[in-house]
Structure 1
Amino acid sequence: MIVDRREFLRRCICGALGGASLYSALGTLNLVNAAVANTNGGIFPDYKALVCIFLLGGNDSFNTIVPRSAPHYATYATSRGGLAVPQGQLVAIDPLAGGLPGDGASYGLHPSMPHLATLFNDGHAAVVGNVGTLLWPTTQQQYQGNLVPLPPQLFSHDDQANIWQTSRADDANAAGWGGRVADLLHGGNPNQNLSMLISLAGEALFQRGDTVHQYVMNPYGVEPIEYLDMWQNEGGVAAFNAMNQSGAQANVFERGYARAVNSAIANYGVIGDALDAVGGVTTAFPSSNLGRQLQMVARLIKARAQSTINMRRQIFYVQLGGFDTHGSQLTVHPEILGDLSGSLKAFYDATVELGVADNVTAFTASDFGRTVSINGDGTDHGWGGHHFVVGGAVRGKRFYGRMPSLAQNGNPDDAGYGQLIPTTSVDQYSATLARWFGLTETGIDDVFPNLGRFASRDLGFFSP
């Protein structure tokens, strides 16, 4: 079994303290934090945020980004049949000469995505083609001949979503890659009492670190412990506080629980007060759940410089569901793509309003792409798919990676049944984001140990 450097360090320290069970019970050991955090070397002088937008269910990216040029559209339309988006309805995206898709095609976005097309054409968004979970670069011949190791449980929602969020196709027990990045960079934040990981969509594997733990909010704000504010509950509150008083617990698990509760109370008090102090943003957001999540992220970014917050690196997680379109795709898919497009545009505009557009990068992720082939009125679980990266620091108006063939027959990218083999790995995609965020090359190797198997360590969608 291969153990990476951080895991080796954690086990050694936990062993010296009496075993890994102690680590698990305490949740966060300050000694472990001191040993692995702040590998960047000092407090960050600038602010940066990553925002993961997870498209739950597996987005049909081949109806999201569609070839417009006649021969390529004809191939697409033959494969897609009744699900093909009409050619004349596509919203044109026009890449710069240095960022063409490489297959000779011109492309457009689904007609419900004019806002995202505007972001692309204005240079604030990029397309990364055919990204997916891989252990090694894999060709059709290698896949069909079982000549290279493959990610486990291909085409399974839960397993592939987990691998996307951990970027560790070789380790089913890995923490999230966002959490692992936070483990290494949290020491660069002036405020060590608040987590740099915030989820607006419940506890997320992407945000799960070994030593830094995510803080979960909802799109409307912090979630206090209602029991503490119940009318005529003075006795209950007194007992609750006494139970969680520092040093009052005889059992290590009770102490771990008390520490977690007290931290949560302190966090929601500080964050809630900071949000009240800074107020909202003037940019209008869609009233959808995704719109509200991203609006709250914008407010949290606005509050970053409050003396009680004082964060230089933050990672956010939001989620949009409904993408498992086995049926009724022509009805379901346009609506959620429109939500994604409008919400992303509003979020980018809010970062402009706040003066941090160059410091905030949003990116999409999903369980997998969907099949090029159709099942009647929907698509099935695929593998590779296209993704968007949005922000002022992005080298936008460009395609990165390789766009695959969409042919129904004789397709060299087809693993079978229209499931396209990725030509860019999740590791490459994630590592490019983490490098921009401030992770050193040593940190990159620590968080993405399989990255060296692929031709490029950096996909190039940020300026040097």
Structure 2
Amino acid sequence: MNRRNFLTLTGTFTGGTLLLPNFLHAFGSQRNIIIGEQCLVFIQLNGGNDGLNTFVPFDNPLYYELRPKIALDKNDIIGRNNGMGFHPALKDLATIQQSGDLTVIQNVGYPEPNRSHFRSQEIWQTASGSKEYVSNGWLGRYLDLQCNEHEPTAGVNFDSIDNLSLKGNEPNSITVKDPNRFKMRNNTEDTVKLSDNPQLDFVRKIAGSVSEGSDEIQKALSKSVTEITYPKTALGKNLEWIARLIKGNLNSKVYYTSQGGYDTHDNQINIHQRNLGELNDAIFSFYSELRKANLLQNVTLVIFSEFGRRVRDNGNGTDHGTAAPMFIIGGSNKGKVMGKNPNLADLDNGDLKHEIDFRRVYATLLRNKMDFDPNRIAIPNNPLIGIF
């Protein structure tokens, strides 16, 4: 069984009580991570979000010419500024932006873009080139260097499967579906020596990491309560859990979750409206909770998708494209709109040309928020100026 499959089986709490044999209880609780005030929270929009109908170039006639079936009415666009504005479902994100807490980074992508969902997600999650294959995720590589040996909750992924972004050489992250549905193990610790079998030792280490991580999560949850009403959606619940762990001083450096449903080849108007509405409501609750707790300056929320959609509609929706906007909320960002407005007159075979490489955004997050040199994990140290 390979490491990734094992983590999928042992690192995900899908329900019930975590039961481990006694020899796996030998891993005592250790706080080895280098603790800092800042943490990163990622929301991955799976399926390829249509950036042009999310942050809309409403003042460009080509937008309406190329999208006769799905273009949004100019009068419905909110938070309008310099020819751009938000989808009407994102009314609260527009408010956050006007409050100076949301930065929009336009035309983000990478050279030689890949339009396969799986491959493009892999590129984003490993911070690799389009022709390069990397086994560990960019956040996993970062956590390997930030942790002494291993720290099970340095990264927390709210999902039913592991996320490649957090995969490293050490088990420094844990995947959780519902923290309410597992219990802390007994405090009795047995002394167990490692064996001469590397595979067995590895299994012990992973399972011990899961057990220890469950304890740390439960301790953090016991120290916090929810003070804001969250929407009753999967994303809303995940962000509520993340807020509680942050408030409970879990001290994780990275939190990760996702929202699906953005592969809008058909019926885009209705599907996109619903998805963006769910995204807006969940994010605004999270944002409001962090503001109320005076923690917004310590938490940087990053929203992205593996690619955008093609500029011209297909009649009822859009097909796989390339560049799209990213959104940064909190972390004392400067609340700007960065990059030029999408150039709809200069396309690459019908797709937007990317202006900003996503790895520059990663470099900015690592350098400015984590005080970490991105070169150490093979990401060029070329951060963007002006986000923070």
2:139 is equivalent to residue 209 of structure 1:
no
Distance 1:350 1:113, change over 3 A: same
Match for residue 338 of structure 2 among 400, 405, 410: 400
Once residues 431 and 57 of structure 1 are traced to their aligned partners in structure 2, the CA distance between those partners, rounded to angstroms, is 24
Which of 102, 115, 119 is 1:155 aligned to?
115
| Residue 158 of structure 2 is aligned to residue 200 of structure 1 | yes
TM norm structure 2:
0.85
Change (3 A) 1:326 1:168: same
Q: Tell me the CA shift for residue 217 of structure 1.
A: 0.9
Residue by residue over 1:63-93, the C-alpha shift from the partner in whole angstroms, topping out at 9 and shown as x without a partner, is 0111233xx1x22111111101111111124
| Residue aligned with 1:81, SS | coil
Letter matched to residue 133 of structure 2 = A
1:108 match: 85
Partner residue in 1 for 2:141: 180
**Aligned-partner Cα distance in 2 for 1:124–1:65:** 16
User: What is the TM-score when the length of structure 1 is the normalising length?
Assistant: 0.71
Quote the Cα distance in structure 2 between the aligned partners of 1:315 and 1:368: 22
Q: Offset at 1:272? A: 1.4
- Counterpart of 2:100 in structure 1 is 123
Residue 273 (structure 2) aligned to one of 325, 334, 358 = 334
Decide which structure has the larger Cα Rg and report it. 1
Matching residue of 1:266: 212
Letter in 2 for 1:109: F
Distance change in 2, residues 1:250/1:192 (3 Å) = closer
Q: What's 1:233 paired with?
A: none
Equivalent residue of 2:89, what SS?
coil
Instruction: Answer yes or no: is 1:427 the counterpart of 2:359.
Output: yes
Aligned residue number for residue 289 of structure 1: 234
| Residue 219 of structure 1: how far off its partner (Å) | 4.3
Question: 1:199·1:214 contact (CA, 8 Å) conserved in 2?
Answer: yes
* C-alpha contact (below 8 Å) 2:102/2:329 kept by paired residues: yes
- Going from structure 1 to structure 2, the CA distance change for 1:66 and 1:53 (only over 3 Å counts) comes to same
Q: CA deviation at 1:405?
A: 1.4
**Contact 1:428/1:459, CA 8 A, preserved across alignment:** no
**Which has the larger share of helix?**
1
Q: Structure 1 pair 267/289, CA: closer, same or farther in 2 (3 Å)? A: same
Matched, 1:86 2:86: no
Query: Residues 367 and 383 of structure 2 are in contact (CA less than 8 Å); yes or no, is this contact kept in structure 1?
Result: no
Equivalent pair of 1:222/1:272 in contact (CA under 8 Å)? no
1:280 partner SS: coil
CA-atom RMSD in angstroms = 2.8
Partner deviation per Cα, 1:299-345 (whole Å, 9 max, x = no partner): 110111xxxx4x3x510101000000011101100010011111111
Query: Matches of 1:429 and 1:132 in 2, distance apart?
Result: 10
Which residue does 2:127 correspond to in 1?
Answer: 167
Displacement of 1:224 in angstroms is 5.5
What are the ranges of 5 or more consecutive residues in structure 2 without an aligned counterpart? Answer: 7-31
Q: Please say which of residues 166-175 and 57-66 is displaced more in the overlay.
A: 166-175
Report the Cα offset of residue 289 of structure 1: 0.5
What is the count of residue pairs matched by the alignment? 358
Q: Report deviation, 1:252.
A: 2.3
Range with greater deviation from structure 2 (419-428 or 316-325): 419-428
Shift of 1:444: 1.4
Percentage identity across paired residues of the two chains: 28
Residue 211 of structure 1, CA deviation:
3.0
Q: Name the residue aligned to 2:12.
A: none
Q: Is 1:362 aligned to residue 292 of structure 2?
A: no
Per the alignment, in what secondary structure is the counterpart of residue 173 of structure 1? coil
Structure 1: where are the runs of 5+ without partners? 1-20, 26-37, 95-104, 135-149, 230-240
Partner of 1:132: 109
Q: CA deviation at 1:58?
A: 0.4
CA distance 1:222–1:362, shift in 2 (3 Å):
farther
Q: Which amino acid aligns with 2:168?
A: G
Q: Which amino acid aligns with 2:340?
A: R
Shift of 1:383: 0.7
Q: Are 2:55 and 2:86, in contact at CA under 8 Å, matched by a contact in 1?
A: yes
Q: Specify the alignment match of 1:444 in structure 2.
A: 374
The aligned runs of 1:199-238 (5 Å cut-off) are 199-201=157-159, 202-221=161-180, 223=182
Distance in structure 2 (CA, Å) of the matches to 1:173 and 1:223: 33
Deviation per residue, 1:84-113 (Å, 9 max, x gap)? 11111111244xxxxxxxxxx422111111
2:383 is the alignment partner of 1:457: yes
Partner AA of 1:213 in structure 2: N
Displacement of 1:183 after TM fit? 2.0
TM-superposed deviation, 1:176: 1.4
Q: Secondary structure at the match of 1:215?
A: strand
* 1:362 aligned counterpart, secondary structure: strand
CA distance in 1, matches of 2:135, 2:338: 28
CA contact (8 A) 1:181 1:439 kept: no
Distance in 2 (alpha carbons) for counterparts of 1:76 and 1:395: 28
Change (3 A) 1:361 1:89: same
**CA offset at residue 248 of structure 1?**
7.3
For the 8 Å contact 1:155–1:382, the answer to whether it is kept is yes
Following superposition, the deviation at residue 250 of structure 1 comes to 5.8
Q: Provide the secondary structure at the position in 1 that maps to 2:248.
A: helix
Is contact 1:429-1:459 (8 Å) kept? no
Correspondence for 1:280: 225
Structure 1 residue 174: Cα displacement: 3.8
Deviation at 1:168, TM superposition (A): 1.1
Distance 1:368 1:459, change over 3 A: farther
What amino acid is aligned across from residue 83 of structure 1 in structure 2? I
